Structure 1
Amino acid sequence: MNLPTSKAQNTTIISYTVSFPEAQAHYADIEMHISDLNQDILDLKMPVWTPGSYLVREFAKNIESLSAAARTKPLAPRKINKNTWRITTKGISALTIKYRVYANENSVRTSYIDASHAFLSTSGIFIYPANMMHQPSTINIKPYKGWAQVSTSLEMVNGDPFTRRAPNYDILFDSPIEVGNQDVFGFNASGVKYEVCMYGGGNYDKERIKKDLHQIVEKEAAIYGENPNSHYVFIIHNHLKSGGGLEHLSSTVLGVSRDAYGTEKGYKNFLALAAHEHFHLWNVKRLRPVVLGPFDYDNENYTTNLWIAEGFTEYYQEIIVRRTNLYPVENYLDALVTEFNILENLPGKDVQTVAESSFDAWIKAYRPNENSANSTISYYNKGAIIGMMLDLEIINSSGGKYSLDDVMKYMYTEYYKTKKRGYTDGEFKKGFEKFAGKKLDDFYKKYINGLTPVDYNQYLGYAGYKITDELADNNDPALGLITATNGNKKVIVTSVLRGTAAYIDGINVNDELVAIDNNPITDAGTMLDGKKPGDKIQVSVTRDGLPLTIPVTLLKNARVKYQIVPVDNATPQQLQVRKKWLSL
C-alpha cells in the first residue's frame, strides 16, 4: 500500500460544502472535494467521540449514502471498519465524496438540524483523510431558506461569513458551527472580541449578560496572565428545559432553559455555567493531561486526571463568580456546601476513588444506571472539593502568599507555553507541592488514590469555617429508595441505596410500591408517616407483574445536610486565609 507521504499531505487541498435541502427532516448534505492527491489508497474516517465528552458516540452511525467520484467516473468506497471507508485512488489526483448526515440529537455534544437552525458539532459532521490531520480545509455553508447567520470561531475566508477555514482537523473538530437566525451580540474583554449567539429566544437581558460575562472573562484571564484567543464565541441554545455545556478551543456551547435568566438563581447558574466552560479555554484545552492531545479520534483517550481538568474547573466556576462580587459570600458557600452534600450522600464515595472515576469516565460517567450511586462518584464533584482543599492548603501553608491560582498559572506557562505538551499526574503533583511548600504524598494517598473520608473541618478551618449537619439530631426512618411516579400514577423504585433498609431487606429497582402494612401508597413522600427507626413493616410490591410482600426493618435516615458556618473567635491567620480565599 502506498501511504500518503509528507509531500502529499502538504500539497493536498481539501474543501467541504454543507447544504440543508431537507433541514426539516434533520439532514445535512456534505460534499468533500480533495485535489492534488498523490497516493494509491485513501482512507476516510469519522471520529467516534468528541473531545470534552468522554464517551464513544459512534458518529459514523449517522452517515448515509456515501459515494465518491473522480470527475464523472464513479468510484467504489468500501467500508473496512465501523468508521473508515477505503477508496482506491491510484492515478487519481482529484475526487469528490458525497454523503448525508442525520442530525436529530439535541444536546451540546451532538449535531441537531431542523427547519429553524442547524447546530453542527463538527466531529460528527466531517469525515477526514487518514494521516492528514494537519491539513487545512475550507468549509462553505449553503444555508437553508431564510437562514442568515453563521456563528463559529473558525475564521472567515475573504470576509465571507458563509465560508470558513480550519487550519487543521484538531481545530475543525473543536469548532462547532451554528447556522440560522440566532440573536448575535458581543463585547470586548481582555483584548479579545467576544460573540454571544442566542438560539431559541428567552428572557435574557443583553446588556446585563455583556457586562457580567465581561467581568468573568477578565477574572479568569487574570489567573493565567493572558487570553490566548483573538475571537471567542458563546453559542447558547435556549430550550424549554436545558442544561450543560461543552468546551472548545475558542468557543463553547451552552444549554440553558430559556426562562432561567428571569430569576436570580437561574441567572446565577447561567453565569456559573458560562464561567465553567470559558475557564476550559485554559484548563484542558491548553493546560491538559498529556494524553488529551494530539487526540486519537478512533479510540478512548484515558487519563486519571479529569478531577483536575473538570473538577478544578467546577471549583473555579463558583469562585470566579464570587470574585466578580455579583453575589455575596453566602451564595458561594451555599454552592460549595452543595458539592459536599452531593458527595457525602453517595454510597459510591466508599467504592470509587477520584482517579478511578477519571479513568473510567468512558464506561461509567456517561452511562449511569440504577446502581451508579452505589458504585461511582463524579470527578466533577469530588474534583471541585479537592480543588477547594488544595487551594486552602496552599493559602494557609504559604501565609497567604500563594493560592491554587499560582499553581494553575505555573502549570500553564511551564507545560503549555514552554514545553508545548501536556502534563503527567506526577508533574501536576509537583506543581501543587511547589506552592504548598510540602510533599503531598499522604494527601494523594488518602484523597486521590484512596477512599479516606474528606476532613472538611481541617481545610475549612484554615479560613475560620466549619461544617454543621442540620440532620444530625433527626430520628426519621428511611427505606433508602429513590422513586418515580409513572403516567399511571404508580410509584416505581428507580434506585436502592447501599446499606439502607430497602437494600438489606431486598426491595428491588423496578418494583412498584403498592402498600405498607396494607395501607395503599399514593404519595412516596408520606408513606412512612407515623413510623420510626426499628419498626418492622410489610412492604407490598408488584415485581414482574406478580404481587410480593417484603418484611423490612426501618433504619434511621443516614443522609447529611451540611452547612458552612464561621468558627467562634477566628484567629488573625484564619481571617487572613479567608480574605485571600474569598477575595474579601
Structure 2
Amino acid sequence: MRFLKVFFALIIMINSASSWAQVNYQISITEPAHHVAQVRAEFEVTEAKALTLMLPAWRSGKYQILDLAKGVTAFSAVDAQGKAVQWQKTEKSSWTLEPAASGKVTVQYSVYANELGERTRHIDETHAYINSSAFLMFSNEQKSEAVSVQLNVPQGWRSFSGMAKGDNEHQFVAPNYDVLADSPIETGINQHLTFSADGRDYDLVIWGEGNYNAAQMQKDLAKLVQQTDAIWQGYPYQRYVFIVHATDGARGATEHLNSTVIQRDRFTFGKREDYLAFLSTASHELVHTWNVKAYRPAELVPYDYLNPNYSKLLWISEGSTSYFQNQLLLRAGLMTKEEFYADLAKRLDKFVHTPGRLVQSVSESSFDSWISLGGDHGTNFGVNIYSEGYIASWLMDELILKQSGRKASYRELHNQLYQRFGKTTAFTAKDVIAIASELTGEDQNPWWQQQVEKPLNFEIDKLLASFGLQWQQNKEREIFSGVTAENKAGFALVKKVERDSPAWKAGFTTEDLIVSVNGLQLKADLAERLKDFKAGNKVQISYFRQGRLQHQVLVLADQPKGAGKVVPLSKPSRQQKAMHQAWLGVEL
C-alpha cells in the first residue's frame, strides 16, 4: 500500500510539472528558417544576492570544449515585479545577476542553432534538435532542483525525448539539470515507431528522408536490445529513445542517459555494408547506456560543464564500447561471423598503419582527448581512444579468459562495474584493476602498467591464435605512397602522410597541393594515378606549398592489397575453439 501511495504521488508530480518544478524553461521556435529560438527561464532566489547563470562549454559524449555560449545573444533579466535586474557577463559562459529582492527572476535570450553536425543544436523549417546543454542555462545553487521545459513549436510538430512528458505533448520534466542536459529533445516533422522488449519500451524517431526502411530498423533494433544481458545483469532505464537524423553533411552519434541521436547521410542505409554500419553505431550507443552513463570514470562525476573533465580512462568509455558493439550484433544474428572478422581485419590494418601506437599509450590518449589534434598528428604521434581502446579491451579480455580458465571474461568485468558503480556512477583505475585481479586470481597491476600506461606491446598473430584465428594478408600487392589525400578536379590536397612511408621520407606534409605526376596534370584520384607505376619507380610530384610551386621525387613502395582477411585456423585446437566460444558466444 505504501508503495502504491508513493507511485501515485510521483505520477501526480510528473503530470503537474509546473507545480513541482523549481526551474522552468520555455523554448520558442520563432524563426526556424533562420535557426533562431527564444529562451525564457525562471529561477527562484531566496535572498537578494548575486545569482550566476552558466551555459555549458561542452556537452556530454564529446570530450572537447565547444564554447556553446557563442550562440547566445539579447540577454535580459527581470524580477517578479517586471523590473529590470542588473547583470553583467563575467566569463565567456557566465552571466551574473544582482536581484534587488528575493522571488522569481526571469531571464530571456536568443539562441542561434545551426550546429547539426556537433549534435548540440539545430533548427530549420522541419525540426529542432535540442541538446539542453546548448540552450538552457543553470545555476550551481539550483542545479539539483526539478526542472520543466516547455516547447512552443510550429503546428503539426511532434516532440520526443528520454525525459518524462509534462502537462502537454511539448513539455518535458526532469528531476535535475544533469538529467535535462543528458536527455536531448527531437521536435518537428518525423516518423515515430515503437516496440517493447524484456518489459521495456523503445521509441524510434526518424527525422529526414532517405533510403532507409523504418520497419526494418524497428525490427532489427528490437533484436539488438535483447542482447545486452550477455554483458550486464539489469537495465539502467525503463524506456529508451533512438533518434535518427537522415540528412546531408552530418555523420556520427552521441550517447545519452536513456537515448541516443544517430546522424547519417540520407542515402547510406540501402547497401548491406552501410546499413550494417548504422546498426553498429546503434549498438555502440546502446552499450554507452551502461558504459559511460550508468558508470563512468570518477573524474567525470559530477560533470564540470565549464571545464575539461580530464581522465586517463576514456579508452574504457569509448574503446570498450567499440569492442562490444559488434559482439552484440553477432549474438543478435544481425552480423555474420564473416562480417565480424572483416571488421576485425580492418581494425588490425588500421592499427598497423598508425605509427602513433609506438609513441602514445591509451592512458595518455585518454587524458589528451580534450586537446587532441587528430588527423596527421594523431596518426603519427598519437592513438585514438576508440580504435586503440578496442585493442586494449581485447587484450584484457584474452587475459581474463585465459587466467580464469574461461570462467570469466571482459564482459563480466563490465558487469561488475555496473553492479558496483551503477548507482554511484564513479569508478577509478584501481577499481578496474581490482576487479580484473579478482576475476583472474592474479595481481593485474603489472599488466596494467605494461599495456595501459605504456604503448600497447603484443603480437597480433599470437592474439588471434588464442581464439583459433589468423590474419591472412592478400598475396596481391598494391602501390603504397603513404599519402592520404582529398581528391578534387585537377589536384589532390594532402591530409595525412604516414610516418616512415615513402612520402614521409620524401618530405611531403599536410596541405601540400599535388597538381601533377611526372609533369602531367593530375586529373584522376592520386592513388589511382600512382597505380600506373610499380614499386621502386621514381616519380616526380609537382605540388604547391604555401602558394609556391615545388617539385619532389617520390620513390614508390608496395604493400598487400586491402586489409586482408581474418579467418579460422585450418586445424584449431579444442582450447582455441573453447576460447572463441567464450569470447564471442558463437562457435568457431
TM-score, reference length from structure 1: 0.91
Partner of 1:275: 283
Change in Cα spacing, 1:285 to 1:543, as seen in structure 2 (3 Å) is same
- Counterparts of 2:533 and 2:279, CA distance in 1: 43
Amino acid at match of 2:219: K
Amino acid at match of 1:143: V
Q: Is the 8 A contact 2:315 2:389 kept in 1?
A: yes
| Helix, strand or coil at the partner of 2:426 | coil
Amino acid at match of 2:166: V
The correspondence for 2:32, drawn from 16, 19, 23, is 23
Amino acid at match of 1:37: T
Partner of 1:521: 522
1:507 deviation in Å?
Answer: 2.4
| Helix, strand or coil at the partner of 1:21 | strand
Partner of 1:79: 89
- Counterparts of 1:540 and 1:293, CA distance in 2: 53
Change in Cα spacing, 1:33 to 1:529, as seen in structure 2 (3 Å) is closer
Partner of 1:485: 487
Q: Is the 8 A contact 2:28 2:38 kept in 1?
A: yes
Amino acid at match of 1:485: N
Matches of residues 184-333 of structure 1 in structure 2 within 5 Å? 184-240=192-248, 242-333=250-341
Partner of 1:90: 100
- Counterparts of 1:229 and 1:551, CA distance in 2: 60
Amino acid at match of 1:84: S
Partner of 2:152: 142
The correspondence for 1:363, drawn from 362, 371, 385, is 371
Structure 1 gap ranges (5+) = 1-10
1:352 deviation in Å?
Answer: 1.7
Question: CA deviation digits over 1:78-136, x for unaligned, max 9?
Answer: 00111111111232311210001000011252100011111001101000123321111
TM-score, reference length from structure 2: 0.91
* 2:122 equivalent to 1:112: yes
Partner of 2:405: 399
The correspondence for 1:423, drawn from 417, 422, 427, is 427
Change in Cα spacing, 1:484 to 1:562, as seen in structure 2 (3 Å) is same
* 2:387 equivalent to 1:381: yes
Change in Cα spacing, 1:554 to 1:183, as seen in structure 2 (3 Å) is closer
1:269 deviation in Å?
Answer: 1.5
| Helix, strand or coil at the partner of 1:186 | strand
Matches of residues 431-510 of structure 1 in structure 2 within 5 Å? 431-470=435-474, 474=477, 477-486=479-488, 488-510=489-511
Q: Is the 8 A contact 2:378 2:384 kept in 1?
A: no
Amino acid at match of 2:275: Y
Change in Cα spacing, 1:233 to 1:493, as seen in structure 2 (3 Å) is same
- Counterparts of 1:197 and 1:527, CA distance in 2: 44
- Counterparts of 2:536 and 2:274, CA distance in 1: 41
1:182 deviation in Å?
Answer: 1.4
In terms of mean alpha carbon deviation, does 80-89 or 221-230 score higher? 221-230
Q: Is the 8 A contact 2:72 2:112 kept in 1?
A: yes
Q: Is the 8 A contact 2:248 2:265 kept in 1?
A: yes
- Counterparts of 1:319 and 1:56, CA distance in 2: 32
Structure 2 gap ranges (5+) = 1-19
Change in Cα spacing, 1:568 to 1:309, as seen in structure 2 (3 Å) is same
Amino acid at match of 1:375: F
Change in Cα spacing, 1:526 to 1:275, as seen in structure 2 (3 Å) is closer
* 2:132 equivalent to 1:122: yes
| Helix, strand or coil at the partner of 1:379 | coil
Q: Is the 8 A contact 2:490 2:521 kept in 1?
A: no
Change in Cα spacing, 1:504 to 1:205, as seen in structure 2 (3 Å) is closer
Question: CA deviation digits over 1:161-209, x for unaligned, max 9?
Answer: 2121121111011010111121111111222111111110333334332
1:38 deviation in Å?
Answer: 2.4
Q: Is the 8 A contact 1:329 1:582 kept in 2?
A: no
1:446 deviation in Å?
Answer: 3.3
Q: Is the 8 A contact 1:345 1:559 kept in 2?
A: no
Partner of 1:172: 180
- Counterparts of 1:490 and 1:207, CA distance in 2: 43
Change in Cα spacing, 1:69 to 1:507, as seen in structure 2 (3 Å) is same
- Counterparts of 1:509 and 1:326, CA distance in 2: 39
- Counterparts of 2:159 and 2:171, CA distance in 1: 9
- Counterparts of 1:251 and 1:582, CA distance in 2: 26
Partner of 1:571: 573
Change in Cα spacing, 1:243 to 1:510, as seen in structure 2 (3 Å) is closer
Q: Is the 8 A contact 2:516 2:543 kept in 1?
A: yes
Q: Is the 8 A contact 2:375 2:495 kept in 1?
A: no
In terms of mean alpha carbon deviation, does 146-155 or 169-178 score higher? 146-155
Q: May I ask how many residue pairs the two structures share in their alignment?
A: 565
1:152 deviation in Å?
Answer: 0.5
Partner of 1:45: 54
Amino acid at match of 1:507: F
Change in Cα spacing, 1:416 to 1:526, as seen in structure 2 (3 Å) is closer
1:543 deviation in Å?
Answer: 2.7
Question: CA deviation digits over 1:134-165, x for unaligned, max 9?
Answer: 11111111112x3331100111224x221211
Change in Cα spacing, 1:80 to 1:575, as seen in structure 2 (3 Å) is same
1:511 deviation in Å?
Answer: 2.5
| Helix, strand or coil at the partner of 1:279 | helix
Amino acid at match of 1:411: L
| Helix, strand or coil at the partner of 1:411 | helix
| Helix, strand or coil at the partner of 2:170 | strand
Partner of 2:16: none
1:560 deviation in Å?
Answer: 7.4
1:314 deviation in Å?
Answer: 0.5
- Counterparts of 2:364 and 2:435, CA distance in 1: 21
- Counterparts of 2:534 and 2:400, CA distance in 1: 46
Q: Is the 8 A contact 2:473 2:560 kept in 1?
A: no
1:416 deviation in Å?
Answer: 2.4
- Counterparts of 2:294 and 2:539, CA distance in 1: 57
Q: Is the 8 A contact 2:236 2:294 kept in 1?
A: no
Amino acid at match of 2:385: Y
Question: CA deviation digits over 1:528-548, x for unaligned, max 9?
Answer: 356444444433323333332
Q: Is the 8 A contact 1:394 1:402 kept in 2?
A: yes
Question: CA deviation digits over 1:484-513, x for unaligned, max 9?
Answer: 223x52223222221122222222333332
